[in-house]
Structure formats: C-alpha cells, structure tokens
Amino acid sequence: MRLFPTWTLQTSGEVAPDERLPTAQTIVMGVQHVVAMFGSTALAPILMGFDPNTSIFFSGIGTLIFFLLTGGRLPSYLGSSFAFIGVVIAATGYAGSGPNANIGVALGGIIAAGVLYILIGLVVQVLGTAWIERLMPPIVTGTVVAAIGLNLAPVAIKMLGATPVDTTIGLLTALAVGLIAVRGQGVVGRLPILLGALAGYVLYGIVANGLGWAKPIDFSGVAAAAWFGLPKFSAPVFQASAMALIAPVAVILVAENLGHVKGLAAMTGRSFDPLMGRAFIADGIATVVSGSGGGTGVTTYAENMGVMAVTRIYSTLVFVVAALVALLLGFSPKFGALILTLPVPVIGGLALVVFGLIAATGGRIWVMNKVDFSRPRNLITAGVALTAGAGDLTLSIAGFKMGGIGTATFGAIVLYHLLREREAAR
C-alpha cells in the first residue's frame, strides 16, 4: 500500500477521500471547515479557562498528525473535546471565568488520557476491531453520535440570543445555510456553512452597527491585536489524583471516534475499519501533544462531519488546508480577533444546523446498519442514552464527575450488554 493515495481530480458531484477539488476550491473548503469547528474549538477552552488561540493552534497540529498517521485516507478534523470540560473543572477547581490558575494540573491529566487512548489504539491495531465492535455495535455507536448532537443542542439554542432580533438573525443564518445547500449551484452549493456565516455576519452588521437594533460588532480588539505572535504555551503538572480523574475520558473519545468513523463510512459507502487503530493512536498522540503545550484534549469533530454531510466533499486534502489555516490563526492574534467578532447569534444559527446534522448522522448509522428497533434491547438502549445525553444527566461517582456525553456513552454500552435477550426472543 502506498503511504498516501494519489488524489484524482473531481470537479462535480460527490468527492471521495482519495479525490480532490481544484486548488482554489480546496482552499475555500478548508476555510469553511475552520469556520464550522471554530465555535466549539474556541468555546471548549474558554469554558475550562484555557487560551482559545493556543487550543486552535494545537487543533491544527493534531489534524496534521491525524492526516499523516492515517495515510491521508480518513477525512477528519481534530478539535477541542467537550468530554474534558467536567473533569477538568473538577480537577482544577476552576471558578468559571478568566484563566485557569491550575491549568498545569489539567494538562497532566489530559496527557494521561491521551496515553490511555494510544494504548487502546495499539490493542485495536494488533487485535483488529471485532472486539470493540462487539462492545459498541451500531445501535451503541449510532446512539452515542446522536446523543452528542442532542447534548450540544442547548449550546446552539443559548447562542441564538436572548432578544428577538438576535434570535431572528440566528434563524435566518440557519435558513441561509439550508437554502445554499439545497439550491446553490456549482461552487456556491459546496460552501453553505461559509456563505451562510457571511450572510448572517452582513445581516447582523446592518441591523446592529447600522440600525442600532442589537449590540454592535466591536472591532477594537482586531485593531489592538498584533499581526503575528506566538501562542501562549503552558507546561503540564503531573498530579496522580487529577490524572486518575481525567484519564478515563479516553473511553468516551474512543466511542466518539468510533461513531464518527462509522458515520463517515455511512456517508461515503466505504469501510474505514482497517484504519480504526491508527485513528485512535493518532487522536491519542494529538491529545498528548496538545496537553504538553497548553491545549485541550482533542477528538475527531462531528461539526466537520456535518459539513461533509451537507457538501458531500470528503477529500482529505481539504483538512490539510483547514489545519494550516488553524495554525495561521494560532500565530496571528489579529486574525483570531477578527474571527472572534463573528456575532454569537450567527454562530448559534450555524450550530443549529451542524449540531442537528450530528444527531441525524447517528440515525443514519442505525438505518445503514438496519438496526431493529422492534427489539426491546435496542429500543431501551437508545431511548435511555439519548435522554441522558439530551438532558445532560451528570453523575458523580467517587469524585469522578461525568457529564451528559459520558453518561450517554457508558449508559449505552452498559445497557446494551446488560439487556441480553433470550435466544427465542432474538
């Protein structure tokens, strides 16, 4: 097998992972993926007291690591994982605003999670995926993916705004994305997220800065920011209690990654099972690298899967461009400040579409694998886990705080294997 595929040019229709768009379209598509991941990749570190520019920088590094280790055959972007938020806050005692004074302790735990993730990947690489597929069959992976989308839904709704004007602009942004995706022709139809964001941005600028009906876009941060500068790096501190608290998040990342890979298989009609072990190892290494310098733990990003679901463009070269743009953001405070001027309602409108597509992708996994919901085992597994994820059910066990995504993940796995049916019922 060649180290990398030979990407063949494709100018219309669906673009497979081993195909490519013309250079200009590839660059624009890469920027669109950055726009799609930006809100969550910037939001997660802010919620944990990390520097968002540093996390965005390491998301680019992690995506390049993933591209190299999977041989450019698996289209994915690695961004900040929300699964770390609860345990990081618990381990550091973060108050919820400003820089996290105990970030080093969190970084040590993130590295521990990355190492555990690598070990799981090595086992998968040696033994294959059969055991992990028995542990997490399509009913479980589809449920986990859908639960992630539903768990993120309140974030999108909150960002739509508290005022009628903000809500209207957010909904119009979502509508613009849909209209461009459905009715756009040629290149325009391939850029629904980017062009929808631009439409929402312009509309908000007119309504807020022009008519004064909403909070104006503040460009003072852009003017004050430097054009070039290094990200703010931090060193890890290895504290046993924090490492024990944060490391189990690796299991959630495995379920997320497995669900995303299965989702990609459903979208492209290809099996990526031979790449599963390498995908886990790459994600684990990227998490270790990120934690070593002040970034968050990373995971394959469902937001970017949503973009692929809309555009049907799966070329892995697009993610190389996206990674390089993220690195540029990390080295350019001014560029990062400009992106941060994207109004919250506009981001909310984009999230409304993208998070919804994440949840729908879980359903697609069920359909593609012909999951039988007449079986009580499948029905109860999905129903309970989806409710736990959507309601953000949080459990505290021996000091370990597990949020809705973790509860839905472990709940789906445990329920599926506890609720074994009699042979006659099968």
Give residue-wise pLDDT tens across range 299-348.
Answer: 998 778 878 888 889 999 999 999 999 998 888 888 767 777 888 888 88
Helix 276-293 crosses helix 249-268 at what angle (to 10 degrees)? 130
Q: What number is the average pLDDT over the span 123-141? A: 87
What pLDDT was estimated at residue 400? 64
What pLDDT was estimated at residue 97? 62
SS3 280: helix
Strands 400-402 and 395-397, bridge-based pairing: antiparallel
- Provide the token pair at 280: 């886990």
The beta-strand segments (E) located in 275-374 are: 298-300
Residue 418: count of CB within 10 angstroms of its CB: 10
Question: How many alpha carbons lie under 13 Å from residue 35 in its C-beta half-sphere?
Answer: 28
In the predicted model, is pLDDT for residue 16 greater than 60?
yes
Secondary structure (DSSP) of 8-33: EE--SS-B-TTEE--HHHHHHHHHHH
Q: Which of 145-154, 224-233, 330-339, 395-404 has the lowest mean pLDDT?
A: 395-404
Q: Which residues contact 152 (CB under 8 A, 6 or more apart)?
A: 40, 82, 351, 355, 358
Given a contact cutoff of 8 angstroms between Cβ atoms, the answer to whether 200 and 176 are in contact is yes
What pLDDT was estimated at residue 202? 94
In the predicted model, is pLDDT for residue 136 greater than 90?
no
Per-residue pLDDT reduced to its tens digit, 353-374 = 878 887 887 888 898 889 999 9
Q: What number is the average pLDDT over the span 163-175? A: 92
Report how far residue 355's alpha carbon sits from residue 347's, in angstroms, rounded to the nearest whole number: 11
Report how far residue 39's alpha carbon sits from residue 280's, in angstroms, rounded to the nearest whole number: 24
For the chain, how big is the Rg over CA atoms in Å? Answer: 21
Determine the longest span between alpha carbons in the chain, in angstroms: 71
Highest mean pLDDT among 37-41, 116-120, 191-195: 116-120
In the predicted model, is pLDDT for residue 423 greater than 60?
no
Q: What number is the average pLDDT over the span 376-405? A: 85
Nearest to 37 by CA among 424, 264, 321, 235: 321
In the predicted model, is pLDDT for residue 424 greater than 60?
no
